[in-house]
Structure 1
Amino acid sequence: MSDLPRKAVTRTAKLAALPLGIAGRATWGLGKRIGGKSAEIVGRELQQRTAEQLFKVLGELKGGAMKFGQALSVFESALPEEVAGPYRAALTKLQEAAPPMPTATVHSVLEERLGDDWREYFLEFEDKPAAAASIGQVHRAVWHDGREVAVKVQYPGAGEALLSDLTQLSRFAKLLGPLIPGMDIKPLITELRDRVAEELDYELESQAQQEHAREFADDPDVFVPEVLHQSEKVLVTEWIDGIPLSEVIADGTEEQRDRAGQLLARFLFSGPARTGLLHADPHPGNFRLLPADEGDEGGEWKLGVLDFGTVDRLPGGLPPTIGRSLRMTLEGEAEAIYGLLCGEGFVKEDIELDPDAVLEYLLPIIEPAEVDAFTFTRDWIRSQAARIADPRSPAHQLGKQLNLPPSYLLIHRVTLSTIGVLCQLGATVRLRDELESWLPGFLAESETAEGTAEGTAEGTADGTTEAPEECEPVADGTAAQA
């Protein structure tokens, strides 16, 4: 294929083809029905053709368009099967592969960033890419010291492409909405756009990956490859083989699925506690299931983690509010959880809700934390999505009145995406074990200790007293009685 399309008019035309194509195929479907084909058969054909066009356009454009496709792909498990089926194969392709950029372009980037003698860095370099992602592609090579490496090369013009795509996609948000019924597409696109600068900066990515590699160097469950070289548009890291999570989802054994799910949950919650960073791009293409190291007791699979281009910086780990609110909800403390949500800005000061209704809204969502082991399934997440998306349901009406503070946006998306992957895996996970080990505030004992150390005052929404009937934010972020 030609080089990465960079002209705004070219990219806009391709993206415009998505909603126009959907409308055209709808007209085609109506004609087929008039011609005698059943609505069900026509609908299936229509979805299949739409899925094929979606991959073709997003994959060729790479940039923000492909990033959007990857973000959507982890939510497909929440869709009704009649909608999810045709999209699954097309969207999953975006997690692992995309049309490559020309070899000459790859060489020119390496020459520009590593120098005319760039080949001296490598004993071997494979021109054919091993993987392609939204802003760069990966080549397998052998470093000058004999180690196998992954060489990530950023697409020329990737920054302009990302911004252009996401600007255009935000304009089409309403038309793209039917791709994922029940999901508000525009905030997702806005949040992706906010992360563009970080993802383009390979120095930031290198720092985040090195921090994880150091912390997990001797970990029996998680492996993060070391960074060997970094420049503006080139990143060289250790190579890891293993089974991509997308293959485990498609063909993995029950043992592999459960192990991958457990380790994914462990990495999600332990990473911020151990590194102060949250890996914020949890789609299956960024994970590998690796055989255990020789000599490891038990010989279980390890989780290989890739791509640290998008991280959330959480110096104190995940906010204790998350653990506290989970615990309060599980314990049925309606007044306390409502007070905490008010104090943190999840309920705006001009909104008044029934604490019992809020508790009833939250309980089904946190079911996985209520039991020792929970099996994540597509049926379960679909039932949750349907409950919240149905305009006639009380959950939908209440959910519209809740607010998501900006500091929680990325945490929320990462958590939802991880749950989506767990449901794709169909994994049975001891989630409560991970919450107790790594989530601040989830255990009452740890919160008591924190409260003593900080001199928590009576009347704050920390679960130690009854929450107020009405709450308004005060300067320290707690909930005070109006």
Structure 2
Amino acid sequence: MSDESDRFSARAARHLRVSTHIGGAAARIVGARLMGGQIDDAQSAAALAGALGRLKGPLMKVAQMLATIPDVLPAEYAESLARLQAQAPPMGSAFVKRRMQVELGPDWRTRFAAFDLTPAAAASLGQVHRAQAKDGAQLACKLQYPDMASAVEADLKQLDLILGLHRRMRPAIDTREVGKEIAARLREELDYRREAGHAALYAEILAPFADIRVPRIRRELSTARLLAMEWLDGRPLAATLSADEPERNAIGAALFKAWWMPFSHYGVIHGDPHLGNYTVFESDGRAGINLFDYGCIRIFPASFVAGVVDLYQGLRQNDRARIVHAYESWGFRGLAKEAIEALDIWARFIYGPLLDDRTRTIADGVAPGLYGRREAFAVHQALQKHGPVVVPREFVFMDRAAIGLGAALLHLGAKLNFHKMFDAAIDRFDADTLAARQTAALAKAGLAVAS
């Protein structure tokens, strides 16, 4: 088990590399600030993104999370970091053999009919191998890289440095709770048994929808750092961007349901909805989606979901009291009039397609590179005048997931009536009913209830 122990030496080595890269970029930025020089956000962003890009691993995943939250990072930083691709160098065959032996024992090969030692995909925390079970089923086996616990803990120590740098330079947002939330979710992603429970939860929730498939987990071949699941064939979502409009609309409708139905009925969101986590299949002449990667799942109390519904209804009816109540139910506290108006800018951007009762694209003619930029700038300007606003922990992944879903729909160019789809998702919403439904589903999947 030594490959996976949270060794001090591994953590220290990672900490040194991270500190060197991030600290160097930060020192240049802060130095310019202290000496009264001009700070070029574009150059600073490029330096920070370059440092993170050389590091790979968990901290780069953190950077991508930060890039989706308005005003947590300057626009230039967010744009630069959003382009980072979370990929790590793959483990070689000899290393894979040792890792599999650690997880399943010296006779691990006898547990499979076949196992491809060359990875089919690589990401920030692990890599995926194709395999065949003894019963003939085709499998995808996600194997975590060694010493990831060490890497995560070392990288999280630097997260405060990145967030603290921004707090000192642009104090419109107090990011302390943001850092806590990202740290909690990233640590959860290391536990593949938890991810197996998340996948089982989604399989139960999305079972009624024929156009959404969730891979079945093979628990007898899984551990805390190895996740064996059904291999689902499909085309990359990016390959369908030039498909005809009816197909893109069908895929878009499936994406919308895969995100909003679990949230509105069970208080659960898939917190990492980027293009790489979907593939497209055809069934009976209709396109559907395979939904992958259940490491970053956020489970919300019913009160938070009620706040989302309240904000929608408040914006729809221009009910100021209901809007403020929604923000407070999310955890925003002591909001002055200026802060509420700033939050309204972002809320109307996120909810805009849901409030518009017509068939349209998610961006409605706005160029992809400009989508959300004007609103983020307006939020920043408004909050700069008001002073720091503490972003509640639960808001972080709600916002990230909504932006990620919007980006996927934006690239897809689907034309849908998002208003009618959302109304159907929240039809007869009741917080007590959701809480009871959530408790039952989480228990069945072996997961803890949200508090």
Judge same fold: TM > 0.5, yes or no. Answer: yes
In the alignment, is residue 268 of structure 1 matched against residue 259 of structure 2? yes
Amino acid at match of 1:68: V
1:31-79 residue CA offsets vs partner (Å, 9 max, x unmatched): xxxxxxxxxxx9989976765543222x2xx2x2132144256679x99
CA deviation after TM superposition for structure 1 residue 323, in Å = 0.8
Of 267, 271, 275, the residue aligned with 1:280 is 271
In the alignment, is residue 200 of structure 1 matched against residue 190 of structure 2? yes
Of 73, 96, 99, the residue aligned with 2:89 is 99
Q: Which shifted more, 6-15 or 132-141? A: 6-15
Of 49, 59, 62, the residue aligned with 1:65 is 59
User: Paired residue for 1:151?
Assistant: 141
User: Paired residue for 1:367?
Assistant: 352
CA deviation after TM superposition for structure 1 residue 227, in Å = 0.4
User: Paired residue for 1:464?
Assistant: none
CA deviation after TM superposition for structure 1 residue 241, in Å = 3.1
User: Paired residue for 2:180?
Assistant: 190
CA deviation after TM superposition for structure 1 residue 237, in Å = 0.2
Structure 1 residues 183, 224: CA separation in 2 closer, same or farther (over 3 Å shift)?
farther
Q: Secondary structure, in 3 states, of the residue corresponding to 2:131?
A: strand
Q: Secondary structure, in 3 states, of the residue corresponding to 2:282?
A: coil
Of 53, 56, 62, the residue aligned with 2:54 is 56
1:306-348 residue CA offsets vs partner (Å, 9 max, x unmatched): 1112322347596222112211112111234334545x26553
User: Paired residue for 1:466?
Assistant: none
User: Paired residue for 2:406?
Assistant: 419
Looking at structure 2, the residues matched to 144 and 214 of structure 1 have their Cα atoms a distance apart, in angstroms, of 26
User: Paired residue for 1:353?
Assistant: 337
CA deviation after TM superposition for structure 1 residue 223, in Å = 0.8
User: Paired residue for 2:446?
Assistant: none
CA deviation after TM superposition for structure 1 residue 162, in Å = 0.8
Looking at structure 1, the residues matched to 326 and 66 of structure 2 have their Cα atoms a distance apart, in angstroms, of 31
Summarize the alignment of residues 62-461 of structure 1 with structure 2, pairs less than 5 Å apart: 62=57, 64-72=58-66, 89=83, 91=84, 93-94=85-86, 97-175=87-165, 187-217=177-207, 219-229=209-219, 230-245=222-237, 247-248=238-239, 252-253=242-243, 255=245, 258-273=249-264, 277-288=268-279, 290-293=280-283, 295=284, 299-314=285-300, 316=302, 319-342=305-328, 344=329, 346-348=331-333, 350-353=334-337, 357=341, 361=345, 362-371=347-356, 372=358, 373-376=360-363, 377-390=368-381, 393=382, 397=385, 400-401=388-389, 404-439=391-426, 446=428
Looking at structure 2, the residues matched to 183 and 359 of structure 1 have their Cα atoms a distance apart, in angstroms, of 12
Looking at structure 2, the residues matched to 356 and 244 of structure 1 have their Cα atoms a distance apart, in angstroms, of 40
Q: Secondary structure, in 3 states, of the residue corresponding to 2:146?
A: coil
Aligned residues: 410
Looking at structure 2, the residues matched to 398 and 330 of structure 1 have their Cα atoms a distance apart, in angstroms, of 26
The TM-score normalised by the length of structure 2 is: 0.75
CA contact (8 A) 1:276 1:317 kept: no
CA contact (8 A) 1:141 1:149 kept: yes
User: Paired residue for 2:17?
Assistant: 14
CA deviation after TM superposition for structure 1 residue 147, in Å = 1.6
Looking at structure 2, the residues matched to 86 and 352 of structure 1 have their Cα atoms a distance apart, in angstroms, of 32
Gaps of at least 5 residues in structure 1 are 27-41, 452-482
Amino acid at match of 1:353: K
CA deviation after TM superposition for structure 1 residue 169, in Å = 2.7
Looking at structure 2, the residues matched to 203 and 257 of structure 1 have their Cα atoms a distance apart, in angstroms, of 34
CA deviation after TM superposition for structure 1 residue 224, in Å = 0.4
1:73-106 residue CA offsets vs partner (Å, 9 max, x unmatched): 6679x999987776665x1x32xx3211232232
Q: Which shifted more, 145-154 or 365-374? A: 365-374
CA contact (8 A) 2:252 2:414 kept: yes
Q: Percent identity?
A: 26
Larger RCO (CA under 8 A, 6+ residues apart): 2
Q: Secondary structure, in 3 states, of the residue corresponding to 1:319?
A: helix
Structure 1 residues 50, 347: CA separation in 2 closer, same or farther (over 3 Å shift)?
closer
Looking at structure 2, the residues matched to 182 and 284 of structure 1 have their Cα atoms a distance apart, in angstroms, of 31
Looking at structure 1, the residues matched to 403 and 100 of structure 2 have their Cα atoms a distance apart, in angstroms, of 37
Amino acid at match of 2:286: E
Structure 1 residues 412, 110: CA separation in 2 closer, same or farther (over 3 Å shift)?
same
The TM-score normalised by the length of structure 1 is: 0.71
Amino acid at match of 2:232: I
Looking at structure 2, the residues matched to 175 and 268 of structure 1 have their Cα atoms a distance apart, in angstroms, of 33
Larger radius of gyration: 1
Looking at structure 2, the residues matched to 328 and 270 of structure 1 have their Cα atoms a distance apart, in angstroms, of 21
Looking at structure 1, the residues matched to 10 and 182 of structure 2 have their Cα atoms a distance apart, in angstroms, of 21
Root mean square deviation, CA, Å: 4.2
CA deviation after TM superposition for structure 1 residue 119, in Å = 0.9
CA contact (8 A) 1:262 1:430 kept: no
Gaps of at least 5 residues in structure 2 are 30-39, 433-451
1:172-204 residue CA offsets vs partner (Å, 9 max, x unmatched): 3345799x9998766544322112442222222
Q: Secondary structure, in 3 states, of the residue corresponding to 1:227?
A: coil
Structure 1 residues 410, 81: CA separation in 2 closer, same or farther (over 3 Å shift)?
closer
CA contact (8 A) 2:339 2:386 kept: no
Looking at structure 1, the residues matched to 431 and 179 of structure 2 have their Cα atoms a distance apart, in angstroms, of 37
Q: Which shifted more, 324-333 or 184-193? A: 184-193
Amino acid at match of 2:18: L
CA deviation after TM superposition for structure 1 residue 374, in Å = 4.0
CA contact (8 A) 2:22 2:51 kept: no
CA deviation after TM superposition for structure 1 residue 208, in Å = 1.6
